[in-house]
Structure 1
Amino acid sequence: MKFGHFDDVKKEYVISNPRTPYPWINYLGTQEFFSLISNTAGGYSFYKDARLRRITRYRYNNVPIDMGGRYFYIKDGETIWNPGWSPVKTELDFYECRHGMGYTIITGKKNGLKAEATFFVPQNYNGEVQQVVLTNESSEEKTFSFFSFAEWCLWDAQDDCTNFQRNFSTGRVEVVGSTIYHKTEYRDRRDHFAFYTVNDEIDGYDTDRDSFIGLYNGFHNPQAVEAGKANNSFADGWSPIASHYKKITLAPGESKTLVFILGYVEMPVDKKFEADGVTINKEKALAMIEQYNTPEKVAAGLEELKATWDRLLSVINVDTPDDKVNRMVNIWNQYQCMVTFNLSRSASYFESGIGRGMGFRDSNQDILGFVHQIPDRARQRIIDIASTQLPDGGCYHQYQPLTKKGNSDIGGDFSDDPLWMILSVSAYIKETGDWSILDEMVPYDNDESKAKPMLDHLKVSFYHVINNLGPHGLPLAMRADWNDCINLSCYSDTPGESFQTYTNPKFAAEGGYSKVAESVMVATLFTYTGPNYVSILKHLGKDDEAAAAQAEIDKMKKNVMESAFDGDWFLRAYDSTGAKMGSKECEEGKIFIEPQGFAVMSEIGKDEG
């Protein structure tokens, strides 16, 4: 069954059936404010950090799927529908979603009324702009009720899911004209707030979820929408929302454009409130609203965004006989690489953004895909990552993008992590010729007193592998290697504990991980990344250090051939009992692709045929 097609001219993917096999999503934002939006307008928004600055709620494991988003409800007579089909799921006369470069356009038609909603995050702007164009395509006048909807998250997405004793007391709002402010102040004095506004007079609003939806209703049948009017509810604790209500009449052929803005504001603590200490200072919010409060300003912002993506995608282009190759290389692969730079897989429909931040290995890997597009930002990202490294060359496996500090909840000792930084720094130098990054003073564990040149970070990364070898001279797997789901040395036998973050005390060795479990994948990754470090040393005239490093690479290749090649393919690992994994000698007899690829790229076994 076909659900859509590529529009190469507009650089868009066009979805014509809302019932996709799974929600098909787009990522909005390129700087500090980000949104995820599905083809039916589901998803959520956050500022910098999907956990610590979550702005709207989303329910990952809900049934039906993809519940929570930026919804527009239309009640036309007795018919209630959404431009994006969900969540009411009234059958539409026409539906289309266009996922473009940093924007999404969703169009729905029902009973002669057309609603086209455009969503994007402008450049240098901490907010999501949502423009809705309503057109009466029938031959008769139409009067209908129109509702917006967004559900506020209480900032820390993890706490929002668990700490009801606190959170049911913290929902606080202000409503001024057509703007609903989400300040969430109760014995808290944060330096931030959010708002949801529309550029027109409204006939009512709701800020209390139970009043709008109803205690036993759902997103698909909010009681305010069914009643055709708002309650003017005011949230005082519990679950705050933002919903605008407007009664609209359109003559045949007439259109009306509404511009909604979901925005985020930070204010110095001493300037957040007016003199009364209760009313928030709206100076920055009003300035943000002024930037995009007309269709003309929205059009200019969207054109600026498209021009930005045209520049990013123009750095590298290919022209091959295959249109599909051209499409993927010139548009969608590069777009995806930029998205992974922005979020580093910290937020999606499969990664909640709650249990982790940005990955150390992930973020270094991402550099390889986008460094040609934004080398200056790539340089800063490398420094941010390296600043979380530990003095012995180990790393926090993840770090929070808001604080840029290592995530101690996850910890470290993932054996492959340090090696990826050698690759990312090498890729940056190859792309830019900027050798000065090696002289940049970069702290360890975010401690400026421990700062050393970036070159030192590469050295401890390289030797972290050499200093942690197992009985076959292969790198210890430690907590995990590239595939965290292969539990080589860090299993937990206590329900509720994650093997990724738990070091089993049954292993008496220091650090709580096995001194027997070895990773062939990390061995081959070492032989692939190591020559980049050697080349850097040679370029700097450090010939003795280069020779010593090369000797370690040659020794590792020898160890791999002697202990990790079974005559047909390379093993995956030795597990925590010392048994082989991924060999023809194993009962399952299956091959793992990770060590094969890096072994081939580093030419292990080439001389042996």
Structure 2
Amino acid sequence: LPFRQLDFFNGIGGFTPDGREYVIQLPPGATTPAPWVNVLANPHFGTVISESGSAYTWALNAHQLRLTPWHNDPVTDPSGETLYIRDDETGRIWSPFPQPSIPANSANHTPPAPAVCRHGHGYTVFERTHDGIESETTIHVHHTAPLKFTTLRLRNTTDRPRRISTTAYVEWVLGEHRDPNAMHIVTRLDPQSGAIFAQNPFSLDFPEHIAFLHCSAPERTLTADRFEFIGRNGTLADPDALRHQTLSNRVGAALDPCAAILAPFTIPPHDEIHVTYILGAAPTEDQAREHLRRHAGLTGARQSLEEIWEFWQRQLGGIYVETPDPALNHLVNHWLLYQTLSSRLWGRTGYYQSGGAYGFRDQLQDSLAFLHECPWLTRQHLLTSAARQFTDGDVQHWWHPPVGRGVRTHITDDLLWLPYVTARYLHVTGDTGILDEPIPYLEARPLAPDEESNYDLPRTSDHIAPLYDHCVRAIRRATEKTGAHGLPLIGGGDWNDGMNRVGHQGRGESVWLAFFIRRVCLDFHPIAQDRGDHATAQHCATLADQLAHAADQHAWDGNWYRRAYFDDGTPLGSHQSPECQIDLLPQSWSVISDAPDTQRARTAMNSAHERLYDPQHQLTRLFTPPFHTAPWDPGYIKGYLPGVRENGAQYTHAAVWFAIATALQRDTPNAWKLAHALNPIHHTTTPDALQTYQREPYVIAADIYTAPGHQGQGGWSWYTGAAAWLYQYYVEHLLGIRLRVNQLTITPLLPPDWKDLNITYRYRNTFYHIHLTVHGPRTWNPRRVLVNGIEQPDKTIHLTDDGHPRQVHIQLG
């Protein structure tokens, strides 16, 4: 493997110095500890690809319309898509990817070779050399069209001509799972485009949809028969069809459906060829042909790749920081927003979860990360989410686009994220016009009190109301009932869905929800006042005070706040509890909600630092001890092993909230200790640490285990709301970058050894180059702010979008 200068190299991979790529270098036969993937997506199409070359692809919905299989097998990392290179003179076969590896006992075996995988923003590149043939394979998804490009460059490094063929292979799913859909899939060769078309006319929601595979080579043969391709009892590691010079061109119905296209080439000495395969989908045949007409071929692939480079550079270029912490720089400048947009908002999938659905609370929170760079994404998703609210005020817990089937539940926090995110959006943008956007409600039969959930397709109501009314209806619905302690009912679960039986009889209460509702009411109160809605403003003010009082009167346990009360009044999260004695959420949100008793909040946070933070493994438990043997039933959370996921592991989403609360208290040492612990780069800096953590160093994992024997091991990665919150933590709470309409303030909380840093801030189309210098310990207190040398008396940067860059100097402390 050639030497590369990489940041934070751990023996397997590292970042390029600019942080834009993560480069994985694999000696022959080596693997990463777990699949290290990239999620390549646009709003309606995407693929997940690992460092081994394993991939799955979807259109419209990563769960409902998978084009190829999703396996969720991190041990063997199988794939329903692959690519082969064959030496047509010797018959030897290999892949430009590390997998599949041709068995040693095969007549077509080629000794394994080193491989390099480069994950970038919107693309992944594989580099490999076999027997004098150098290959570079670039995979990307078009930034708007439902197309996945795989472009293969083959260079002959020998002194003689080489006869080489390439073969792309995919197994069709065209639904959720392959087994129930394969028998219905019909394939055909489209004479106009030369692509293999596949259709599942028995699909419930997508019977007209066409999936297709296309090759740019003028000479090619193909098959849509998987049995022909792999052979009887065969595997993709040694396909039978590649023992033959050509494929049969068989397509039709009643086959084991796949698509394989073989293209032969002759490569002169020290010359190279290029070939592009396109995997895609479209609602109709005509649209499929139009996509191929516009984008097929080598020129179309290259143009699309350049557009992807430009798109992501622009998309991630709103805030660029240069601090003394390069690990923080890499995440803030490149990877956190990329993870949030490609995996959470657009793909709604990762390697370990192929959900496809929008979670009402989930993507609303994710959208907060875009308020600086692209607030229109937040605006768009607010309106999308409001349209999933029922006339009664509750909402779909999650729903599958584009049809809208989803789950109605008794979970009590979902609906409140609508007014919470609306208030945050208004504070940053000043876009009060969004409150008047008309949005319809949904209608469906209500849930029975003892009914946990109902999966259905609701109808769109004729009742249309502005977004403001949707928000008010959510607040009114969420606060119409309280329990015996004056705390809000937990219902079928609050933020922690796994506590779904704490209040399933309708009497259990949530302490965390009390603090969250208080925060929502405090933020929404001025909005109601500005609208002249004095009744709602008074309701919010009164409720905020009542809930704070109830939490202090009935939820204080002596050194921290309790988590909840069961239906029978038994406290959860108390020092007397046999399990879950202290929970992270109410301690954090006592600070975030600006609870009046600040001394209790500080004591609660100190208790959380002492009892929940693990300095050895650099993680923060959600609660301790985990649920295990105690004779109570908090819900399905107890089905997880102790120390796994929500059951006492680090649930990173909550750990970031804890860090935010720490920063709000201006506890600089602990805030930066947590910032370091939350950064996955610091869990993978050495080979030993890498073998413990196992997950990707460049994206956030949803959880980190505390189970014995697995302490410090990452859980599922990519698909987690922690990425959006960690971005906000780094940018707003540590670096102190806060925007209010067109006024930018920077009040950072910096480590004592930092003397200066640079921030480039883009306001629409105008760049502000900001240099900060430290002159005292209270770094959140700017002494002077100068814009183009002119002192700003209010210590605020007044933003103007005129295209002329500004130089800003800020003295801190």
- Please confirm whether the aligned pair reaches a TM-score higher than 0.5, indicating the same fold: yes
Give, as a single letter, the amino acid of the residue that structure 1 aligns with 2:572: M
1:16 aligned to which of 6, 17, 25: 25
Distance in 2, matches of 1:236 and 1:595, equals 58
- Count residues with an aligned counterpart: 562
3-state SS of 2:334 partner: helix
Equivalent residues in 2 for 1:378-393 (5 A)? Answer: 378-393=378-393
1:228-268 per-residue CA deviation (whole Å, 9 max, x = no partner) reads 5423332422431111112333232121100111122223x
Structure 2 contact 34–75 (Cα < 8 Å) conserved: no
Equivalent residues in 2 for 1:481-496 (5 A)? Answer: 481-489=494-502
Match of 2:261 in 1: 244
1:550 aligned to which of 538, 541, 563: 541
Structure 1 contact 52–402 (Cα < 8 Å) conserved: no
The answer on 1:170 being equivalent to 2:185 is yes
Alpha-carbon deviation of 1:556? 0.6
Give, as a single letter, the amino acid of the residue that structure 2 aligns with 1:261: I
Q: 1:429 to 1:152 in 2, by over 3 A?
A: same
The answer on 1:53 being equivalent to 2:45 is no
Structure 1 contact 92–109 (Cα < 8 Å) conserved: no
Match of 2:493 in 1: 480
Structure 1 contact 85–91 (Cα < 8 Å) conserved: no
Match of 1:118 in 2: 138
Distance in 1, matches of 2:534 and 2:379, equals 26
Distance in 1, matches of 2:559 and 2:517, equals 21
Alpha-carbon deviation of 1:61? 4.0
Distance in 2, matches of 1:239 and 1:116, equals 31
Match of 1:105 in 2: 125
2:293 aligned to which of 265, 290, 302: 290
Match of 1:606 in 2: 597
Distance in 1, matches of 2:92 and 2:571, equals 64
Give aligned-pair identity as a percent: 27
TM-score between the two structures when normalised by the length of structure 1 = 0.86
The answer on 1:520 being equivalent to 2:540 is no
The answer on 1:419 being equivalent to 2:428 is no
Equivalent residues in 2 for 1:117-136 (5 A)? Answer: 117-136=137-156
RMSD, aligned α-carbons: 2.5
Alpha-carbon deviation of 1:146? 2.1
Q: 1:311 to 1:515 in 2, by over 3 A?
A: same
Structure 2 contact 44–346 (Cα < 8 Å) conserved: no
3-state SS of 2:150 partner: strand
Equivalent residues in 2 for 1:87-106 (5 A)? Answer: 87-88=100-101, 92-106=112-126
Distance in 1, matches of 2:440 and 2:505, equals 29
3-state SS of 1:153 partner: coil
Of 576-585 and 181-190, more deviation after overlay is shown by 181-190
Q: 1:570 to 1:147 in 2, by over 3 A?
A: same
3-state SS of 2:378 partner: helix
The answer on 1:449 being equivalent to 2:446 is no
The answer on 1:537 being equivalent to 2:528 is yes
The answer on 1:201 being equivalent to 2:218 is yes
Structure 1 contact 75–225 (Cα < 8 Å) conserved: no
1:207-240 per-residue CA deviation (whole Å, 9 max, x = no partner) reads 1111111241222222112445423332422431
Match of 2:195 in 1: 179
1:360-391 per-residue CA deviation (whole Å, 9 max, x = no partner) reads 11111111112333323332221111111122
Distance in 1, matches of 2:16 and 2:203, equals 51
1:23-60 per-residue CA deviation (whole Å, 9 max, x = no partner) reads 11112122322222222222222222123332222222
Alpha-carbon deviation of 1:19? 0.9
Equivalent residues in 2 for 1:35-46 (5 A)? Answer: 35-46=47-58
Of 523-532 and 83-92, more deviation after overlay is shown by 83-92
The answer on 1:582 being equivalent to 2:597 is no
Give, as a single letter, the amino acid of the residue that structure 2 aligns with 1:483: N
Structure 1 contact 394–464 (Cα < 8 Å) conserved: yes
The answer on 1:394 being equivalent to 2:394 is yes
Match of 1:85 in 2: 98
Match of 1:561 in 2: 552
Distance in 2, matches of 1:66 and 1:328, equals 29
Give, as a single letter, the amino acid of the residue that structure 1 aligns with 2:588: G
Match of 1:319 in 2: 322
Point out where structure 1 has 5 or more consecutive residues left out of the alignment.
268-280, 491-512
Match of 1:495 in 2: none
Q: 1:561 to 1:74 in 2, by over 3 A?
A: farther
Q: 1:196 to 1:170 in 2, by over 3 A?
A: closer
Distance in 2, matches of 1:406 and 1:382, equals 19
3-state SS of 1:310 partner: helix
Distance in 1, matches of 2:132 and 2:21, equals 26
Of 188-197 and 318-327, more deviation after overlay is shown by 188-197
The answer on 1:147 being equivalent to 2:167 is yes
The answer on 1:224 being equivalent to 2:241 is yes
Distance in 2, matches of 1:186 and 1:599, equals 52
Structure 2 contact 185–257 (Cα < 8 Å) conserved: no
3-state SS of 2:172 partner: strand
Alpha-carbon deviation of 1:544? 4.1
1:487-516 per-residue CA deviation (whole Å, 9 max, x = no partner) reads 4347xxxxxxxxxxxxxxxxxxxxxx3222
Distance in 1, matches of 2:17 and 2:579, equals 45
Alpha-carbon deviation of 1:430? 2.4
Alpha-carbon deviation of 1:63? 6.0
Distance in 2, matches of 1:284 and 1:544, equals 52
Match of 2:676 in 1: none
Q: 1:171 to 1:191 in 2, by over 3 A?
A: closer
TM-score between the two structures when normalised by the length of structure 2 = 0.65
Structure 1 contact 172–237 (Cα < 8 Å) conserved: no
